[in-house]
Amino acid sequence: MTKIYQKNQPESIQKMFGSIAEQYDKTNALLSFNLHRYWNRKLIQTVQNAHPQVDQYLDLCCGTGEIAYAFLKKSRNRIEAFLLDFCEEMLKCARSKQQNSRDRIHFIQGDAQEIPLPSKSVDAVTIAYGIRNVKDPQKCVNDVFRVLRPGGVFAILELTQPTSPLMSFGHRMYLRAVLPIIGKLTASNKEAYEYLSNSIQAFIPPEDLQKLLIETGFEKTRKLSLTGGIATIVSGIKC
């Protein structure tokens, strides 16, 4: 593995996300020009194509629950879902979205590196826009492998850097100049979105993330580039 952005300590990152929780969904939609909805759908499709019958599902770094609720809505069967985040303010937003549901939903404030679930207890795990915020991604992937049942799928959706020189230049300019300003205007927190910009630019490339899954023991790994490489899905199966 190469570089992983760890300038901020977990406690400061936790506090930062807490400060933007209430505006998080609105700001994400604005910053991504609503492309994040397409990326989220592709993440869900990746899981469902790999494992059509999910009974127990875990969403790590769940934030406001947008991914998890979309996954449950697309599922044909009743699911027991675990939504884990280290930020209580984010979980509070996720709880507020819960409606009368056929599914059993558990909200867990916890660490994605030390998942408080038994070994071989879930069929699918997702983490969207979160693994670059984890202090030790290797530890997180190891614990995901532990909690997955054989045949289970792990799918990561992360913001990444395009490889095309022209698109890469425009992307860098957007991250450095535009994103923090929009973050300040919509969430009143320029620093949080400066962190987002820095963490995207400093995190390991998708190829290294895929290699990490392979080295952990995942098989049938795939890397799916979205919107010219602005976002990428990396997935694998525990066989």
| Residue positions forming the annotated binding site for S-adenosyl-L-methionine | 64, 85, 111-112
Annotated binding site: 64, 85, 111-112
**Strand 219-226 relative to strand 231-237: parallel, antiparallel, unpaired?**
antiparallel
In sequence order, which residues have a C-beta less than 8 Å from that of residue 204 and are 6 or more positions away?
A: 1, 2, 3, 4, 137, 212
Contact indicator for 112, 60 with CB cutoff of 8 Å: yes
Compute the distance between CA of residue 28 and CA of residue 24 in angstroms, rounded to an integer.
6
**Which secondary structure element, helix H or strand E, spans residue 124, and what is its range?**
strand 122-128
Strands in 104-109's sheet, in edge-to-edge order, are 104-109, 80-85, 56-60, 122-128, 148-159, 231-237, 219-226
Compute the C-alpha angle 29/133/159, nearest 5°. 45
